[in-house]
Amino acid sequence: MQFIDQSRITVKGGCGGDGIVAFRREKYVPAGGPAGGDGGNGGRVVLEADSNLQTLLDFKFKRLFFAADGFRGGPNRCTGGSGKDLIVKVPCGTEVRHMETGVLFGDLIEPRQQLVVAFGGRGGLGNAHFLSNRNRAPEKCTEGREGEEWNLQLELKLLAEVGIIGLPNAGKSTLISVLSAARPKIAEYPFTTLVPNLGVVRRPSGDGTVFADIPGLIAGAAQGAGLGHDFLRHIQRTKLLVHMIDISAEDPVTDLLVVERELIAYGHGLIDRPRLLVLNKLELLDGEHQQKIVEDLQKATDRKVVLISAAMSRGLGDLMDWVWEELKD
Ligand SMILES: Nc1nc2c(ncn2[C@@H]2O[C@H](COP(=O)(O)OP(=O)(O)O)[C@@H](O)[C@H]2O)c(=O)[nH]1
Ligand SMILES: [Mg+2]
């Protein structure tokens, strides 16, 4: 199962610098020849794979990437400086296509792999180029050319790092919607009823991580009840689990154990995956009752427990602190 993050950007190489008209002026050289230098080439736009990035979130906010222009030629046949290349960091695994035609420009797979997506324009020619027997003092030079401009489609297959699990009605979808900065698309998938809810959550350092909530975890899932087996197979690919429990449920401890039993039954080490217990809907109980349930849970498990209200956006800082801490390499 794949999630696809897509962004559209426009890239443009720098304009070439103009060539110039100039003549040599030196002491003791009476009739100096043409000496106008060429313009420098415009900078290129280069995409570079960066293993620190996981998503295309940044491209939802910044879409235009222009490299620097080349500099004008100088006197004494001095070629102008080239415009600086613009290096744009993208996550490893980004696929780059020409937007209008869908033609593949390239794939950025390995860290630091680069792909030139727009060349800068050539610099213009200075008048030194136009010296001929007929014309010993040409006044001609040419302008720098425009850089290439392309609309590109970036596509990235995402892996959810954080899985949100819990029984139906625990508040998983609500949590994703309040945490999300963006929603990636979900690739074609035969089991539409199992389409997970996805969100990209921005890290304090800027980039995002992907949360997936896949409905369908119920008692017997590991034996294939409901959509359980597909659910568990997917969750297996996440690094962390956020396990939500409705604090107002009849018996939150039983709810915890039902889910843990499924994780154990599925095997593959799921039960040992870093997992945070999140008691949701805290505002429905007073402090005393909240405390009682936290204590009951701690008797049943030694996992860390946080109290939140997804609907009222309370306690989310504690939850995310844990996530960022656990995701640190
Ligand atoms: N009181 C309260 N209700 C909540 C909270 N979070 C979610 N809900 C409600 O609980 C129900 C189930 O939430 P949902 O996100 O669909 O649960 P899911 O089945 O785990 O995805 C919905 O009616 C939500 O509005 C919360 O923090 N407080
Ligand atoms: Mg849901």
Per-block average pLDDT, block size 10, for the chain (329 residues)? 78 98 78 90 97 85 95 95 97 94 94 97 95 90 97 88 90 90 60 62 80 72 61 76 96 94 85 95 95 94 94 95 89
Three-state SS for 162? strand
> Buried (b) or exposed (e) across 203-235, using 16+ Cβ within 10 A?
beeebbbbbbbbbbbbeebbeeebbbebbbebb
Structure confidence at residue 296 (pLDDT): 95
- Cα–ligand 1 centroid distance for 173 (angstroms): 7
Q: How far apart (Å, rounded) are the C-alpha atoms in residues 36 and 31?
A: 15
Structure confidence at residue 191 (pLDDT): 42
- Cα–ligand 1 centroid distance for 168 (angstroms): 9
- Cα–ligand 1 centroid distance for 265 (angstroms): 27
Q: Whose CA is nearest to atom 13 of ligand 1?
A: 171
Structure confidence at residue 193 (pLDDT): 43
Which residues have C-beta atoms less than 6 Å from ligand 1? 166, 168-174, 280-281, 283-284, 309-312
**What's the length of the chain?**
329
Structure confidence at residue 202 (pLDDT): 83
Structure confidence at residue 54 (pLDDT): 82
Ligand nearest to the CA of 312: 1
Q: What are the chain's domains? A: 3-156 (2.70.210.12), 159-327 (3.40.50.300)
Structure confidence at residue 222 (pLDDT): 64
- Cα–ligand 1 centroid distance for 284 (angstroms): 12
- Cα–ligand 1 centroid distance for 248 (angstroms): 11
Q: How far apart (Å, rounded) are the C-alpha atoms in residues 299 and 47?
A: 52
Q: Whose CA is nearest to atom 2 of ligand 1?
A: 281
Residue 65's DSSP bridge partners are 11
- Cα–ligand 1 centroid distance for 118 (angstroms): 48
18 Cβ partners below 8 Å, 6+ apart?
39, 72, 73, 123, 124, 141, 142, 143, 144
Structure confidence at residue 190 (pLDDT): 43
Nearest-atom number in ligand 1 for the CA of 244 is 20
Q: Which of 290, 288, 263, 289 is nearest to 279 (CA)?
A: 290
Ligand nearest to the CA of 174: 1
Q: Whose CA is nearest to atom 1 of ligand 1?
A: 281
Structure confidence at residue 189 (pLDDT): 45
Phi-psi region of 267 (alpha: psi -120 to 50; beta: other; left: phi over 0): left
Structure confidence at residue 278 (pLDDT): 97
Nearest-atom number in ligand 1 for the CA of 312 is 27
> Ligand 1: which of 164, 165, 169, 217 to mutate, judged by most atoms within 8 Å of the beta carbon?
169
> Ligand 1: which of 173, 174, 213 to mutate, judged by most atoms within 8 Å of the beta carbon?
174
Q: Residue 31, Cβ neighbours under 10 Å: how many? A: 8
Ligand nearest to the CA of 218: 1
Nearest-atom number in ligand 1 for the CA of 308 is 27
Nearest-atom number in ligand 1 for the CA of 170 is 20
Q: How far apart (Å, rounded) are the C-alpha atoms in residues 245 and 300?
A: 14
Q: Whose CA is nearest to atom 24 of ligand 1?
A: 171
Residue 88's DSSP bridge partners are 47
